A and B are shown apart, each in its own frame.
Chain A
């Protein structure tokens, strides 16, 4: 790593810590950061503050960090896999696939409580998560099958978008056929939230995201080789098919798990890898993977914090916040790439 890259990654680590403390401090009631830190290390703060921090805000912040890192890594993996800067779990319909899986279980079984209720058993979570992974994985396999035949990145991207719409339409049909009270809850889930993951649920959520993140962390060499293209990668002795399948599986798990637990959260997947490339100045995965994990955590924590800024228990939809921040980011990044003669 160059000096600049090291400094940027260290800076991102500091930013994660700051965003983490801030997100614990801000909510329906504000708790000063000093008291937040005291509550964390077991100092003398009121039981009420401690309860808010430990039982509500800490799992929420941890969820946000993991979800942001997971979405960022899934986006990075897809951008590399498709060699397309606009690829992400959303654009390629992977999130829609996960949503379909969730919808089939939740609307089919009639227990949407599993998504929000803090008391639902692990089995329900596991079922929903498995369905989301299956949905996301099938969409990604389909899109990749098309991309290996077509090769034209733009066509593949449009195919992914169209596939996403078609899958969303299936979800809409399912939703339309459900009872009105479930509709309300479904819409709520669709807005995205990091608050639904309580401590017990965090074990499954954290375990699966950690698995996906670890997979990305041990394959930077393979991802770098894929940047050159499949033929180059195989000419260097890389088992391209195996690496593609592995990366695809990792990206599907990450995107699906986040979708199952937090709802379909947009823009983090596409924006975070670009922000990291802009910051570190390289597309090398040895730098990009740690940078994306940290940047994803920062962005998700920030979005979470902004969503509760109005106070008084008013919560802005998370997806509105990520889109308002993410869309301009992507536009700026693309404009800069054009100016620098990059190919989109």
Chain B
């Protein structure tokens, strides 16, 4: 049996409508994703990632086409029904500093409770489960204002989980976090999609991390289209470089990371065993050489566990650490 997609778009066009003009930022978006998947929405700043997320969350009307949640047209869902299928984590800070983490998560039960917001036993269970799912049970009684940014973000995710949605939309949840917290949060989101069987759609700037953890990446292209697929397929198709065209970056598929565009000073070779050769190549690239490009090398570097030997323009220099190699390469310019 094929599972119904949790979220599907049909010829979706997103953008802004101002007075008599419309400005589309993304056109003809056709994607279909299921529960249990982690989707990362990627692309340069200001290209329409947030607009797409807002449209998927029905916070902003689509210019054309439609969004389906669990095979139902999102526009036709009652607000509370929509809230039981789709929950968001936004960058808005709100005025919740005076609330305990538990009370913040309780807010997520609102689409499930009556007008007066009286929480019943099953709501308490859902709140406990949501806190446990993000490993924040021990923070339940702490005031939000006393939590670290990473802990706060986990509580906000628990609040969204308490809505018991099939789709979680997260707008740059890692934006204010330090590097370890970013990695942890993405790993947590990945685990959540599996354990809680939800679809998580995350917009992020952290392309390298996203390509490692996502099941599906959506890459916003400069032309206003969306490239979609498994990270490896997307990388192989070469669209990553197209998406970040014009930037002084080049994406290397082999090590799934960006490198500064270099090589203005000529070609170089780094020889050696294992990680040392890689690091020597990194030093050469930082100093402006293209390593292993195939041309006649201006600099040749050999490394082993005693140090490095560089041959350049007939001179031969040796040293022990990479700082001295970098120093030698810089001196050569002058």
Counting CB contacts under 8 A, is B307 at the interface? Answer: no
Partner of A229, one of B78, B79, B86, B90: B90
Contact (Cβ within 8 A) B59 A231? yes
Contact of B92 with A231 in the complex, beta carbons under 8 Å: yes
A284 interfacial contact with B, CB 8 Å: yes
Q: Of the listed stretches B31-39, B107-115, B308-316, name the one at the interface; the rest are far from the partner chain.
A: B107-115
- Bound-state Cα–Cα, A218 to B114, Å: 11
B96 contacts the other chain (CB 8 A): yes
Q: Which of B70-118 contact A (CB under 8 A)?
A: 78-84, 86-88, 90, 92-100, 103-104, 107-108, 110-111, 113, 115-117
Q: Is the CB of B93 within 8 A of A343?
A: yes
Interface residues in B112-148 by Cβ distance below 8 A to A read 113, 115-117, 143, 145-146
B163 contacts partner chain A, Cβ-Cβ < 8 Å: yes
In the complex, the answer to whether B99 meets A283 with C-beta atoms within 8 Å is: yes
From A84, A228, A341, contact of B145 by CB (8 A): A341
- Of all chain B residues, the one with the shortest Cβ separation from A285 is B117
Known: A224-B117, A231-B59, A340-B146. A236 touches B98 (CB 8 A): no
Q: Which of A223-270 contact B (CB under 8 A)?
A: 224-225, 227-229, 231-232, 234-239
| Total contacts A-B at CB 8 Å | 97
Q: Tell me, yes or no, whether B57 is within 8 Å of chain A by CB.
A: yes
A286: which B residues are within 8 A, CB to CB? 117
**Interface residue from A221, A227, A236 paired with B96 (Cβ < 8 Å):** A227
A35 at the binding interface (Cβ < 8 Å): no
**Closest beta carbon of chain A to B21's beta carbon, Å:** 20
Contact A236 B93, beta carbon cutoff 8 Å: no
Cβ A218 vs Cβ B83 within 8 A: no
Which residue of chain A is the closest to B165 with respect to CB atoms?
Answer: A235
Q: Is the CB of B94 within 8 A of A83?
A: yes
- B residues contacting the other copy or chain, number (CB 8 A): 36
Min C-beta distance of B156 to chain A, whole Å:
9
Partner of A221, one of B80, B95, B113: B113
Enumerate chain A residues within 8 angstroms of B99, measured Cβ to Cβ.
227, 282-284
Residues of B within 8 Å of A85, CB to CB, are 95
Question: Is A238 a contact partner of B94 (Cβ separation < 8 A)?
Answer: no
Question: Which chain A residues lie closer than 8 Å to B93 at the CB level?
Answer: 229, 343
A325–B97 alpha-carbon span in the complex (Å): 26
What is the minimal beta-carbon distance from B113 to any residue of chain A, in angstroms? Answer: 7
Q: Is A193 on the interface with B (CB-CB < 8 A)?
A: no
Number of interface residues of A (CB under 8 A): 31
User: Can you name the residue of chain A whose Cβ is closest to the Cβ of B108?
Assistant: A236
Find chain A residues with CB under 8 A from B117 CB.
Answer: 220-221, 224, 286
Give chain A nearest CB distance to B316 CB in angstroms.
59
- Which of B57, B79, B90, B116 lies in contact with A237, CB distance below 8 A? B79
Bound complex: CA A220 to CA B163 (Å): 19
- B107 contacts A229, C-beta separation under 8 Å: no
- What is the minimal beta-carbon distance from A247 to any residue of chain B, in angstroms? 14
Question: Quick check: B80 and A283 within 8 Å, CB to CB?
Answer: no
Q: Which of A228, A234, A341 contacts B94 (CB 8 A)?
A: A228
A277 at the binding interface (Cβ < 8 Å): yes
Which B residues lie within 8 Å of A232 (CB)? 88, 90, 92, 94
Report A-chain residues with C-beta under 8 Å of the C-beta of B97.
283, 342-343
Q: Are B145 and A225 in contact (CB under 8 A)?
A: no
Q: Give Cα A277–Cα B100 distance, bound, in whole angstroms.
A: 12
- Decide: A235 and B83 in contact? CB cutoff 8 A: yes
Query: B96–A228 contact, CB under 8 A?
Result: yes
Q: Interface readout for B283-309 with A: 1 if CB under 8 Å, 0 if not?
A: 000000000000000000000000000
Q: Are B100 and A236 in contact (CB under 8 A)?
A: no
| Contact of A80 with B by CB under 8 A | yes
Question: A342 near B145 (CB under 8 angstroms)?
Answer: yes
Residue contact A234 to B100, C-beta cutoff 8 Å: no
Task: For A342, list chain B residues within 8 Å (CB).
Answer: 97-98, 145
Q: Contact check: which of B79, B84, B116 meets A238 at CB < 8 Å? A: B79
Contacts of B104 in A (CB 8 A): 228
Determine whether the beta carbon of A236 is less than 8 Å from that of B83.
yes
Q: Which residue from B88, B115, B143 sits with its C-beta under 8 Å from A235?
A: B88
Inter-chain CA distance A80–B90, complex, in Å, is 19
The one of A220, A228, A282, A284 that contacts B116, using a Cβ cutoff of 8 Å:
A220
Report the minimum CB–CB distance from B51 to chain A (whole Å). Answer: 14
Contacts of A234 in B (CB 8 A): 59, 79
Contact A229 B111 (CB under 8 A): no
Cα–Cα, bound, A234→B108 (Å): 12
- What A residues does B103 contact at CB under 8 A? 224, 282, 284
Q: List chain A residues, Cβ under 8 A from B163.
A: 236
- Interface-central residue, A221, A282, A284, by most chain B CB under 10 Å: A221
Chain A hits for B83, CB < 8 A: 235-237
Complex: how many Å from CA A225 to CA B79?
14
The A206-222 residues at the B interface (CB cut-off 8 A) are 218, 220-221
Rounded to whole Å, the gap between the CB of B88 and the closest CB of chain A is 5
Q: From B163, which residue of chain A is reached at the shortest CB distance? A: A236
Is the pair A228, B79 in contact by a Cβ cutoff of 8 Å? Answer: no
B59 & A221 in contact (Cβ 8 Å cutoff): no
Known contacts A220-B117, A236-B110; is-contact A277 B98 (Cβ 8 Å):
yes
Q: Which residues of A contact B90 (CB under 8 A)?
A: 229, 231-232, 235
Which residues of A are found within 8 Å of B96, using beta-carbon distances? Answer: 227-228, 283
The 5 closest A-B pairs by CB, nearest first: A221-B117, A283-B98, A237-B83, A83-B95, A237-B80
Task: Jot down 6 A-B pairs with beta carbons below 8 A, ordered by A.
Answer: A85-B95, A225-B107, A234-B79, A237-B82, A239-B79, A340-B145
Given contacts A228-B96, A282-B103, A286-B117, 4 further A-B contacts (CB under 8 A): A225-B107, A235-B90, A236-B87, A238-B79
